[in-house]
Homo-oligomer: A and B are copies of this chain.
Amino acid sequence: MAPQLEPFFKQVDASSNDFIDRLRKAVAIPSVSAQDENRKDVFRMGQWLADELTALGAEVEQRPLGKQPGKEHLELPPVVVARYGNDKNKRTILVYGHYDVQPALMEDGWATEPFELTIDEKDRMYGRGATDDKGPVLGWLNVIDAHRKAGIEFPVNLLCCFEGMEEYGSEGLDDFIQAESKKYFKDTDAVCISDNYWLGTEKPCLTYGLRGCNYYSISISGPAQDLHSGVFGGSAHEPMTDLVNVMSKLVDSQGNILIPGLMDLVAPLTEEEKTLYGNISYTMDNLHESLGAETGIHPTKERTLMARWRYPSLSIHGVEGAYSAPGAKTVIPAKVIGKFSIRTVPNMESEDVNKLVFDHVKAEFAKLNSKNTLDVWLQHDGKWWVASPKHWNFSAASKAVQQVFGVEPDMTREGGSIPVTLTFEQATGKNVLLLPMGSSTDAAHSINEKLDKRNYIEGTKLLGAYLHYVAEEPTSA
């Protein structure tokens, strides 16, 4: 054990009620970034967080981001940045989190008041933002607090970047991070983000990869206005028929992407990588539980995890412009827009993917010999991210997990995207680690969001231990 960990752990246990009180106060502020009427609460939450950090001895600033684009009557909530420690001989770790939350109403089906931390007999702490992301943010504050109370030297310089718009697209944050990368964040040696979840409920994980996402629209138009299918059916090319035909050529029922050349862009699976998946604490039952059905494609957990983490996937999301209500309507829609997206992985470059998609869609449409008009375009893209899990940032975190939880963490990737991850990597040029505190059952974004007391208190120990190991790890790639 790193020499200072034992007194630190003891202090965390001794202060655990204070830490839970801290979380209770944070949850009580309904900092819902998506709702105009709560904007004042988001500001209040930022102020509260700044006050807490100041009281703990950090140098704090609330950085304004200006008006909200498209909603100019609203000010964007500030980024709360803080520095704790300024010792040239120590590593500087930049940590990110967010202090805004998703909307929550009792009538959505919550069992308890969403903005009142409620602890049940199994030590589950219910409340909006408990796990996403107030618990993890306060984890960093708790670490400072415990060090001060126990009189232990803080092992690193800590830079905090806590935003208040994460649940509404992180408006303004990318530009801020870019602008501060050579200023406020210039000393950063590595980045740590605690804003995702364990794969299950028992075993912590370190996350080193995320898939990207390229989102496409296919528009097919024909007549100048919607037609009556009785009057015109059979006499004119129908856009919906063409769209369904083209979309049926994108992916098969087994999830195989049918776009020629696309799979050639995917980094080959190495023998070494193959061995990683077998050790992951995950079962097919876990998948079936998440799906609420046994409709998984692959027979093994290894192949399932690869499908979610390291292979691309293509999903068809829906059709705009066609009849979508319950009941029956005999319309021939004049113009329909199909939506689909491809989750991207190394080494798929967005431009290459776009070209293959556009060529394929156009070629399939040409085969139809339709007089309708096709258009296909990229709505937005976000790049995949993969960090080196052998970097000292990860080995320090791994040692911390072993110290606190007595197990080696699962090294995981995720299928979805957390865009700020890539922004930090590109802006700082440093290794980024995702170090989750909550578990897979925490129901972030859903009703009855919770954080287990164990995840919060042991998670606080984990974040602190991570900083101690960071201070000791030899420099690596």
Task: List residues of chain A with CB under 8 Å of any chain B CB.
Answer: 211, 213, 215, 222-225, 227-238, 240-242, 244-245, 247-248, 251-255, 287, 290-298, 304, 307-308, 311-320, 322-333, 339, 341, 343, 368-372, 379-380, 414-417
Contacts and interface: CB of A to CB of B under 8 A. Distances in A.
Contact of A328 (B241, B252, B379): B379
Contacts of A295: 222-223, 236-237, 370-372
Given A229-B343, A291-B223, A318-B319, A244 B248 contact: yes
A320 B318 CA distance: 9
A294 B304 CA distance: 48
A224 B292 contact: yes
A251 B241 contact: yes
B318 A230 contact: no
Contacts of A330: 213, 215, 315, 317, 341
29 contacts: A211-B230, A223-B291, A224-B293, A229-B315, A230-B416, A230-B417, A231-B308, A233-B313, A233-B315, A234-B297, A235-B255, A235-B308, A236-B287, A236-B291, A236-B295, A236-B297, A237-B295, A237-B297, A238-B255, A241-B255, A253-B370, A297-B371, A315-B332, A317-B330, A318-B329, A319-B319, A319-B322, A319-B324, A323-B339
A234 B313 CA distance: 5
Given A308-B235, A333-B317, A248 B245 contact: yes
A250 to B, nearest CB: 8
Nearest to A249: B248
Given A244-B248, A251-B241, A253-B242, A236 B296 contact: yes
The 10 closest A-B pairs by CB, nearest first: A224-B292, A230-B416, A234-B313, A318-B323, A318-B322, A233-B313, A248-B248, A234-B307, A324-B324, A253-B368
Nearest to A339: B323
A323 B317 CA distance: 6
A230 B291 contact: no
A253 B371 CA distance: 9
Counting chain B CB atoms within 10 Å of each CB, which of A295, A312, A343 scores highest?
A295
Given A241-B252, A253-B368, A330-B341, A235 B318 contact: no
A253 B225 contact: no
A332 B295 CA distance: 13
Contacts of A379: 327-328
Nearest to A289: B224
A416 B228 contact: yes
Contacts of A320: 323-326
A319 B331 CA distance: 12
